[in-house]
Structure 1
Amino acid sequence: MKDQISVAFVGNPNCGKTTLFNAYTGANLKVANWPGVTVEKKEGSATYKGSKLKLIDLPGIYSLTSYSIEEKVSRQCIMSDDVDVIINIVDASSMERNLYLTMQLLELRKPVILALNMMDIVEERGMELDLHRLPEMLGGIPVVPVSARKRTGLDVLLHAVIHHYQEGPAEHVVTYDDNIEDKIAKLEVVIKARYPDAANLRWHAIKLLEYDEEVMKHHPVDVTAIIDRNYEKDIINQKYDYIEEVIEDCLFYKKEKLASTDRIDEVLTHRIWGIPIFLGIMALVFFLTFTVGDFLKGGFEVALGWFSVTVSNLLSGLHAAGWMNSLIVDGIIAGVGGILTFLPNIFILFLALAILEDSGYMARVAYVMDGIMGKAGLSGKAFLPMILGFGCTVPAVMATRALEHEGDRKKTILVTPFMSCSARLPIYVLFADIFFEDYAMLAAFSLYVIGVVLAILIALLSNRIFKGKSSNSLLIELPEYKSPNARTIAVYVWEKVKDYLSKAGTTIFIASIVIWFVLNFGTTGMVSDISMSFGASIGRFLVPVLAPAGLGLWQIGVALISGLSAKEVVVSSFAVLFGISNVNSAAGMMQMSEALGAYGFGPLNAYALMIFCLLYTPCMATIATIRKETNSTRWTIGMVIFQLLIAWIGAVLVYQIGSLFM
């Protein structure tokens, strides 16, 4: 036996694969990129009864038919000699979707162990799984129930790895119809004659019948006398026929759950009402974000006000220099603290999104949007990264890796930043509450709708201009509805809140100091008149450009520039620029309204500002991610300029057209 067994963790997205991998590797995890691509390569190590194991966490895939970057990377790794054993992690609550990949892995003639994850969900749904019959129908491979979350079954799984590695691979389990089997036999003879050292002749023959590009490229043979057409659909259908047999024999009480899911889907995925229902659900989300979030943030405002006064008195008591008092109270506390008061709104938003995701509804949104996205030259699959953009644009851009064609990826990356990420929410909350009062929720919600509509229109326009045509078809499982898992939601929300707090303690902290500096220093040193500062000079340079959009104040120019570090900084910048210690409190908003009102800044100006913040260049972290994903500095710079132009045009149109009626 080898000194070290190499084990690949393979499974569909969201099957718990990475959680299981992390349970084994812990601190022994190494993360890098696969050579030549941006997809992450995660490796770790473990030992079991003296045997050393090298563990590889591969990107989540649905199939070994390689179209997307992740599928290509996973397939190349699995087929290489670097992998000795495959642990196929399967979501036991979604067996049909998961077992298709299992059938393909079994044809590779490598040892495969099936790790049944999420068995608790199967039990929660009142279903039963025959764990004796299932391995029999899968060629005798080990089937091990595990819980990545509860860390159960981990030792049993590693025992199966060692034992099955020594035994070798199981036989294939799917026998196709006579016509296909006859062609497979003939192709095996041809491949053997042309490539005597070729391993796993059956797998190569099947891939030739599917017109697989990689196999035809690396193992070209003349098969015109055998293959008269592409048999991919036939092979897929016959695999699923066998999967249905497996489900019928091994999974019980599933039909009752499917019936209830189908009844709900008749409404939620309706051809006409599906989109209005989605918009209604999102409107409810933002209603809760404003009403409940604003109710909770009162406590934050009181605490911040008390903290600000206490620190100011403490510094005065210590006879600290005036500039030090100003830096800490007016700069750091006003900037960072002002952002922290929006935490209840952010919390409610992420809580609602987590519930929708874990219940199974978000997968329906992509399905519902497939028709509209198709007219824009994209599939509903492209809407999945866009949905992620409601949380954070960075992972949303990275999620475009799942798209198969480079052109589709770039189009999706181009429009994804128009989704209102959570960082923009404090801007919407602040200015909507100040200028639209009873209609604040509708004003903010309209921005989310405008972002989605504009993204689709720009995708459509780029598709028409460049004559692009997507060949992506939407293949997505619509999981059964389930009651959201409290722990899953808690982990998701905590990760998002932690990111928000981390940003407040790093990016926004630094930005607040920088903003304070440029507003309190000028060419003559420290200035008492803010209009003589570096910030004022920078802002005045932008006034002529922003004036047609109703944003002709130098303070707004400075705030928008600061927003390039993180969109939340726009709010903290306004707090520092206008000297408001607690901008999100009732008194703070009144001060902001009066300060802006003195310049003639009203609701129309505020909405133009919100539109500009919706559409203009995303944060630096997103720009860096876009550069990395596209591998093109030129394309990234062009995208930044394009978004600035779109934001300016959008804000100008809102202000100029609105001025005709107000």
Structure 2
Amino acid sequence: MSIKIALAGNPNCGKTTLFNALTGSNQYVGNWPGVTVEKKEGKLKSNKDVVIMDLPGIYSLSPYTLEEVVARNYLITERPDAILNIIDGTNLERNLYLTTQLTELGIPVVIAINMLDVLEKKGDVINTQELSKKTGCPVYEISALKGKGIQEAADAVVKFAKENKKFEVAHVFAKNVEDILENIAAKLPKDIPEEQKRFYAIKLFERDSKILETREDFPDIESIIADAENEFDDDSESIITNERYTYISSIIKGCYKKKSKEKLSTSDKIDRIVTNRWLALPIFAIIMIIVYYVSVTSVGTLVTDFTNDQLFGEDGWYLFGIGRSDYEAANDKFVEENIFNHKTEIEAELQKAVDEHVKGSEEILAAVQDEDFGAFEEAMESYSAALEEAGISIDDYYNDDIMENAPDKADYGVYIPGITTLVSNGLEAINCVDWLSALIVNGIVGGVGAVLGFVPQMLVLFIFLAFLEYCGYMARIAFIMDRIFRKFGLSGKSFIPILIGTGCGVPGIMASRTIENDRDRKMTIMTTTFIPCGAKLPIIAMIATALFDGAWWVAPSAYFLGIAAIIISGIILKKTKMFAGDPAPFVMELPAYHLPTVGSILRSMWERGWSFIKRAGTIILLASIIIWAGSSFGMVDGSFGFSTEMELNDSVLGMIGNAICWIFAPLGFGEATATIATIMGLVAKEEVVGVFGVLDFEGLGALAGYAFLAFNLLCAPCFAAIGAIKREMNSAKWTWFAIGYQCTFAYATALVIYQLGMLFSGHFDVFTIIGSIVAFAIIAFVIYLLVRPYKESTKFTQKVKINA
């Protein structure tokens, strides 16, 4: 039989880092039976017969949050063979509060004091032998981050579990309290094991409702509790809390010596700046601007451009760059001699097309004027049919005969064709049928490749987010945002799911379960997906690159647009009867700053990135095939059929898009491709980019493009996140309300951006004037909702108990 070890500790104590170090890849994630709280379980690397259960981070075994209920239920009902209790050595007193409760369960407990490296740096000393004597538990010093002492602690807890000895509680309270507990224990049902009676006696004394619900034969001890409360002039729960801290204080005096009590720690000095009332938000804004600038605009873009244009594109690349400069010189000479020496004639023809408003003519003309042959070729590939249909031709200067004499990349250096070219050539070599070749090249490689092309940017972003999380800064952001959110009816607890949502909206939504107040939890679920998740990053990068020439401000503005949407929604919703009430209290422990290891950052990056890549291989692949099929089947010569060169408007997909694109016309992107991309984004947000990988990118202007970006960032999330909303809300009505609110808010935001942008840029046609009036009306209505009196809050009260 396998040995079950429970890993328990406070949030931010290093428990997850230790769990990853002990189990490596031998772990899996699921949900606890009956609830959506994440369940992490793994096998010890050094002993596959040992199963380690990573319990949710909790402060106590009192039932204030779902995590605490789940952790306690597991410990009571499953009864693991031993508990490895992780303690943050920099905050010994607070962490030992949970330890005193764990030891009362009658399960063997081994204490692992983490943050050893931080303690050594501070010069603080913990007498582990004395602490072990006082608590009755073996004590080991570890550094989960650096891997020091973790194997010794693991071996000790396994050995402890195998001995199967009865564990006795070492700590005692004041004599009069102990007498009360012994009296209650004597009245407990006979089938409760002796080693568990103290735990049940304390919980009954505290009037723990969750414990009382587990059995009907618990004794009535209300008279005992009432007498004790009169004697101590305090409520029963506070009596036990005070006794615990009295005991903890007594043992710390002989176990813990600080080097200096006067000097501020490095973390405290940093916090004086980064959590300063006036500097905190500007610092946060600067950090996020840098994160998105590096991820989307600079470093991330360099790798993404290579992935899109060379790895998955048709450009290919030169191994180690050998031969690239020779090819580029030869190509420049060819273009100058054969194409742009006819620049005047080509410009004259294209100007006719521009005057006749031929689709794509402005883009082709701009490429000729800039003498950008790459852009010219790409534009001609997309819009040559539109020129031909308009009777405008530049074939005398750009045709197949001329291009046959163009330099061949393969003649220079070590050239490696792109995946698209390799696949296309391979299919051509085996005489693959046209429809299958088009499906593979345009549908699968084009659609999935367009999405995967943005993986490098996502990985860079995930590295930054992992660093900020592991170093301790993200905990400060929740603390900072609590001050702001509280003014708008939310607490910092609502910001934690939002932070998690920057990776993926699904775990962000699920993290809302830490919020005790049901109204606050529902409101957090509704607004969490406003924050740009990893799947929305490709949309941001695509718009920034294609329409704003890679401008640095586009990505950060998308992030802060999400933050603004959350704050505005919080104010508006909190002033309604459905969500009125005081925000839940927010208490969290700020961990000491420390440099995370490269391994922990890379592991976090890979977990998030691999999740995205798996989606590309499943749901995005399927969606890309559907898009290709919908754009390749339609009306051909008056009858329904297939064509690899079908115009979008004649295809099934184009007909659907054109039928509903009027909905988005007031937002500036009322065309088939953008409409289809928006609808497919409900399946998976990455598929917004996938649509443009299969279909031609329409000529959206910068303003319409930003409105398109705003709508797709704020509207209803993907199906997976909608499913998470349904599970967390546990109500179809609330789920539809959340989707409706998100789509309405997104539509209103995009409409205001586009219509007022058109007005202020000098467009005064009748549609812009009407649209601007509607936009101003929306702004006025939102302002009214923001400033109207907060009448409903007095109708609701909430009693919340907080452990000292």
Using the size of structure 1 for normalisation, the TM-score is: 0.86
Whether 1:182 and 2:187 are equivalent positions in the alignment is: no
Q: Give 1:499 shift.
A: 2.0
What residue number does 1:587 align with? none
Query: Deviations along 1:435-471, whole A, 9 cap, x unmatched?
Result: 2236x22122112112112112222322221253246
Distance in 2, matches of 1:7 and 1:487, equals 24
3-state DSSP class of the match of 1:152?
helix
Indicate how the Cα distance of structure 1 residues 467 and 74 shifts in structure 2: closer, same or farther if over 3 A, else same.
same
What residue number does 2:85 align with? 88
Distance in 2, matches of 1:474 and 1:626, equals 23
What residue number does 1:586 align with? none
Indicate how the Cα distance of structure 1 residues 274 and 646 shifts in structure 2: closer, same or farther if over 3 A, else same.
same
Q: Give 1:26 shift.
A: 8.3
Query: Deviations along 1:403-456, whole A, 9 cap, x unmatched?
Result: 223333222111101111011111111112222236x22122112112112112
Distance in 1, matches of 2:238 and 2:184, equals 23
**Pick aligned residue for 1:282 from 269, 288, 296:** 288
Distance in 1, matches of 2:642 and 2:743, equals 33
How does 1:128-167 map onto structure 2 within 5 Å? 128-138=125-135, 140-145=136-141, 150=147, 152-153=151-152, 154-163=154-163, 165-166=164-165
The gaps in structure 2 that reach 5 residues or longer are: 317-417, 762-804
What residue number does 1:373 align with? 485
Distance in 2, matches of 1:66 and 1:573, equals 48
Query: Deviations along 1:1-56, whole A, 9 cap, x unmatched?
Result: xx88765332234545466667777898787644432335566788999x987765
Look at both structures and tell me which one has the larger radius of gyration over its CA atoms.
2
Q: Give 1:121 shift.
A: 5.5
Query: Deviations along 1:115-147, whole A, 9 cap, x unmatched?
Result: 345545655666544321220221x21224567
**Pick aligned residue for 2:670 from 545, 552, 572:** 552
Contact 1:191 1:221 in 2 (8 A): no
How does 1:29-428 map onto structure 2 within 5 Å? 33-40=31-38, 56-80=53-77, 82-83=79-80, 85-92=82-89, 94-117=91-114, 119=116, 122-123=119-120, 127-138=124-135, 140-145=136-141, 150=147, 152-153=151-152, 154-163=154-163, 165-166=164-165, 168-173=166-171, 175-176=173-174, 182-183=176-177, 185-186=179-180, 188-189=182-183, 192-193=186-187, 202-204=198-200, 206-207=202-203, 210-215=206-211, 219=218, 220-222=220-222, 223-228=225-230, 229-230=234-235, 232-233=237-238, 235-236=240-241, 239-240=244-245, 242-243=247-248, 246-247=251-252, 249-252=254-257, 255=260, 259-289=265-295, 290-300=297-307, 301-305=309-313, 306=316, 307=418, 308-428=420-540
Contact 1:374 1:380 in 2 (8 A): yes
Using the size of structure 2 for normalisation, the TM-score is: 0.72
Distance in 2, matches of 1:392 and 1:252, equals 43
395-404 vs 607-616, which moves further? 395-404
Contact 1:184 1:205 in 2 (8 A): no
Letter in 2 for 1:143: V
Indicate how the Cα distance of structure 1 residues 157 and 373 shifts in structure 2: closer, same or farther if over 3 A, else same.
same
Indicate how the Cα distance of structure 1 residues 276 and 232 shifts in structure 2: closer, same or farther if over 3 A, else same.
farther
Distance in 1, matches of 2:743 and 2:592, equals 42
3-state DSSP class of the match of 1:441?
coil
Whether 1:632 and 2:726 are equivalent positions in the alignment is: no
Whether 1:620 and 2:618 are equivalent positions in the alignment is: no
Distance in 2, matches of 1:480 and 1:635, equals 40
474-483 vs 119-128, which moves further? 119-128
518-527 vs 410-419, which moves further? 518-527
Distance in 2, matches of 1:31 and 1:496, equals 14
Query: Deviations along 1:129-187, whole A, 9 cap, x unmatched?
Result: 4321220221x212245676856123232112233x31x223342535xxxx5355346
Whether 1:502 and 2:581 are equivalent positions in the alignment is: no
Contact 1:133 1:250 in 2 (8 A): yes
What residue number does 1:581 align with? none
Contact 1:209 1:230 in 2 (8 A): no
What residue number does 1:608 align with? 707
Contact 2:624 2:690 in 1 (8 A): yes
Letter in 2 for 1:354: A
3-state DSSP class of the match of 2:520?
helix
Indicate how the Cα distance of structure 1 residues 53 and 445 shifts in structure 2: closer, same or farther if over 3 A, else same.
closer
The gaps in structure 1 that reach 5 residues or longer are: 579-591
Indicate how the Cα distance of structure 1 residues 277 and 72 shifts in structure 2: closer, same or farther if over 3 A, else same.
same
Distance in 1, matches of 2:463 and 2:4, equals 39
Q: Give 1:394 shift.
A: 1.0
549-558 vs 146-155, which moves further? 146-155
Distance in 2, matches of 1:284 and 1:231, equals 51
Contact 2:109 2:157 in 1 (8 A): no
Indicate how the Cα distance of structure 1 residues 497 and 197 shifts in structure 2: closer, same or farther if over 3 A, else same.
closer
Distance in 1, matches of 2:626 and 2:559, equals 30
**Pick aligned residue for 2:657 from 539, 545, 561:** 539
Contact 1:10 1:87 in 2 (8 A): yes
377-386 vs 244-253, which moves further? 244-253
Contact 2:443 2:694 in 1 (8 A): yes
Indicate how the Cα distance of structure 1 residues 322 and 119 shifts in structure 2: closer, same or farther if over 3 A, else same.
same
Q: Give 1:204 shift.
A: 4.8
Distance in 2, matches of 1:390 and 1:30, equals 22
Contact 1:376 1:460 in 2 (8 A): yes
Contact 2:454 2:538 in 1 (8 A): yes
Letter in 1 for 2:517: H
Distance in 1, matches of 2:25 and 2:299, equals 39
Distance in 1, matches of 2:451 and 2:25, equals 33
Indicate how the Cα distance of structure 1 residues 478 and 534 shifts in structure 2: closer, same or farther if over 3 A, else same.
same
**Pick aligned residue for 1:488 from 584, 587, 600:** 600
What residue number does 1:564 align with? 682
What residue number does 1:585 align with? none
Q: Give 1:532 shift.
A: 1.3
Distance in 1, matches of 2:29 and 2:462, equals 27
**Pick aligned residue for 1:452 from 559, 563, 570:** 563
Distance in 2, matches of 1:514 and 1:321, equals 19
Letter in 1 for 2:281: I
Contact 2:188 2:197 in 1 (8 A): no
Contact 1:48 1:158 in 2 (8 A): no
28-37 vs 93-102, which moves further? 28-37
Q: Give 1:368 shift.
A: 0.8
Letter in 1 for 2:138: P
Query: Deviations along 1:326-368, whole A, 9 cap, x unmatched?
Result: 2222222222222222222212211111111111111001111
Distance in 2, matches of 1:272 and 1:182, equals 50
Indicate how the Cα distance of structure 1 residues 26 and 394 shifts in structure 2: closer, same or farther if over 3 A, else same.
same
RMSD: 3.2
Distance in 1, matches of 2:34 and 2:162, equals 32
283-292 vs 519-528, which moves further? 519-528
Contact 1:68 1:405 in 2 (8 A): no
354-363 vs 640-649, which moves further? 640-649
Q: Give the total of aligned pairs.
A: 632
Distance in 1, matches of 2:111 and 2:567, equals 41
